[in-house]
Amino acid sequence: MNRFIQFINREKELEFLEKEIKKPASFTVIYGRRRVGKSELLKEFLKGKKSLYLLAVQEVEKEIINDFSKDAGDFFKDDSLILNPISEFSIFMEYLKKKNLNEIMLVFDEFPYLVDANKAILSILQKYWDMNFREKGAHIILCGSSIGSMETEVLGRKSPLYGRRTGQWKVDPLYFREAMKFFPHLNIEKCIEFYSMSGGIPLYIIELDEKKSIFENARDAFASRGSLLFQEPEIILKEELREPKTYFSILKEVSRGKNTINDLANAIGIERTAITRYMDTLIELDLLEPIQPITSIEKSRKTIYSIKDNCMKFWFLFIYPFKSDLDSFVFQNFQKYFENNFNSYVGKTFEKICAEAIRISNPIKSTNIGTWWGAYREDGERKTAEIDIVSINDETNQILFAECKWKKNVDAMKILDELQEKAGFVDWKSERRKEVFAVFAKSFKERTIMGKNILLYDLDDLEKIFNK
């Protein structure tokens, strides 16, 4: 696949970087989870620009700076530096100090590896920025995949570099609208199925082949030993965390439906107070997300947790349970489970994609979009209700309720009747609110207009929204 397609959807990031280098001097921080495409973004941005790109690796300081020296020697056409490389970061900074840095961009990619090699590098960089580089109009970019490290050691208040940055950007996974552009010839149904497996990580998306069936892609990209995604979640956790076992267990249990703090603490055998720290780390890494009913107050006890990354969610549900079989290239049980459960799995991703469509089309100019669940009593019996999407506009008192059905020939009237009944249990400006109802489906039995406050969206409608 043509690699340029990864940058069709990074216009905002590229625009931000262009604004940074127009400043008299800039100290820019780019960070985000692994595989999200930060390095490719920087390489795209640096095309046609005079820049010294330095990539740190997991080695001791001497080895890293030796490599930096060789790259700098090539860049400045300094044979003596190539033959006699520098081995300390402070001496390397002294070398750069003598160059006209206002004419070039200095990029440190995977900066946390450099800090791991020598914590003093933070203070050294601070010193040279304050005393020399800023006054000379230098443009420095620090990029890193370790979200925790970048937020603590670079952006945090206790960091020597705190207050030096002129801008920062967290690179997020692509939304569906952006990811579907990787497959311009595919219908939206198959794009949704692809996104359910890959999520918005470009490296994962390009592993999928539009010429293959959904099962063939799942088998070849995920379930085949030696494929890129066969061990990807394990690799990610090992790269990000010193002791990944507990984090792995949490994600495994969440994938199985244990989605509250109490459920997880009991399943794993850890005190509730202790497990919170692990959960916070997974949230920080963009691997887990807390979800509350849209009408709940902050820090509600109703919080549940879901795996945020589609690739990891798919892996824990469909690959991990059959890992021993797949290690031996036995696909029978995996295939049977996939064929029986993949459609319902896609249904949950479909809800998020529908919420994205509402954000784009914005029929009530929403100020907040989320989901809702709660309890009610009927004939003295406690029951629960759930609504897939609830969108509110606090200024106009409008509220939109939506249900999402990953099915064909859906009976819209039946779904709307049920939705309107459940909407009555949602406690939000009950006396003065204006209600709008929406149903999303692959297709409907009929598309009769049932009122101004009724919206129906099938796959053709979604395709038009996402292709605007």
Say whether both 41 and 96 belong to one domain: yes
What are the tens digits of pLDDT across the range 136-150? 999 999 998 866 677
Q: Is 109 in contact with 42 (CB distance < 8 Å)?
A: yes
* Tokens standing for residue 61: 């300081």
Within a domain: 287? yes
Same domain, 157 and 17: yes
Q: In this predicted structure, what is the pLDDT of residue 1?
A: 41
Same-domain check for residues 455 and 384: yes
Lowest pLDDT segment from 32-36, 192-196, 213-217, 377-381: 377-381
Are 328 and 217 part of one and the same domain?
A: yes
State which amino acid sits at residue 117.
A
Within a domain: 102? yes
List CB contacts of 186: < 8 A, sequence separation 6 or more: 180, 194, 210
Task: Provide the β-strand partners of residue 399.
Answer: 392, 435
The secondary element (H helix, E strand) that includes residue 28 is: strand 26-31
Phi, psi of 318 (to 5 degrees): -110, -25
Q: Is the pTM of this model over 0.95?
A: no
In a domain, 375, yes or no: yes
The domain boundary, picked from 170, 196, 213, lies at 170
* Crossing angle for the helix pair 232-240 and 245-255, to the nearest 10 degrees: 140
- Provide the pLDDT for residue 232: 94
Long-range CB contacts (within 8 A, 24+) of 12-16: 13/41, 13/45, 13/169, 13/171, 14/41, 14/44, 14/45, 16/167, 16/169
Query: What count of Cα atoms within 13 Å lies in the side-chain half-sphere of residue 405?
Result: 21
Pair 320, 414 in one domain? no
The residues with which 381 forms a beta bridge, in sequence order, are 378
Assess if residue 357 is contained within a domain. no
pLDDT band, very low/low/confident/very high, at 376 (cuts 50, 70, 90): confident
Residues contacting residue 218 through CB under 8 Å, at least 6 positions apart: 197, 314, 318, 338, 342
Backbone phi and psi for residue 453, each to the nearest 5 degrees, phi listed first? -95, 20
Query: Are 28 and 52 members of one domain?
Result: yes
Let me know whether 229 and 373 are in one domain: no
15 and 60 housed in the same domain: yes
Cα 219 from Cα 234, distance rounded (Å):
18
Last residue of a domain, one of 287, 316, 343: 343
Q: Per-residue pLDDT averaged across 6-27, rounded? A: 87
Cβ atoms of 76 and 100 within 8 Å: the answer is: no
Nearest CA among 440, 1, 455, 426 for reference residue 209:
1
- Across 4-13, 175-184, 351-360, least confident range: 4-13
Residues 320 and 337 in one domain: yes
Q: What is the pLDDT of residues 152-206, one digit of tens each?
A: 778 788 889 988 999 999 999 999 999 999 999 999 999 999 999 999 999 999 9
**Are residues 399 and 390 in contact, defined by beta-carbon separation less than 8 angstroms?**
yes
- Structurally, the chain folds into a number of domains equal to 3
DSSP 159: S
Are 385 and 236 members of one domain?
no
Asked whether residue 20 falls in the same domain as residue 124, the answer is: yes
SS3 376: strand
Nearest to 371 by CA among 334, 332, 409, 402: 402
Ranges assigned E (strand) in 314-418: 368-378, 381-393, 398-405
Looking at the DSSP assignment, which residues form a beta bridge with residue 401? 390, 437
- Residue 354 is assigned to a structural domain of this protein: no
Position 294 in a domain: yes
pLDDT tens for 267-303 read 999 998 899 999 998 998 889 999 999 988 765 678 9
CATH number, position 38: 3.40.50.300
| Cβ neighbours of residue 369 closer than 8 Å, sequence gap 6 or more | 294, 355, 358, 359, 389, 390, 391, 392
Out of 180-184, 211-215, 248-252, 406-410, pick the least confident.
180-184
Asked if the structure places residue 352 within a domain, the reply is no
Is 109 within 8 Å of 54 (Cβ atoms)?
A: yes
pLDDT at residue 9 tops 90: no
CB atoms within 10 A of CB 347: 15
Strand order in the sheet with 398-405: 368-378, 381-393, 398-405, 434-441, 454-457
**% of the chain residues with pLDDT over 70:** 97
Closest CA to 67 of 52, 79, 82: 82
From 170, 190, 224, the end of a domain falls on 170
Residue 413: domain span = 362-466
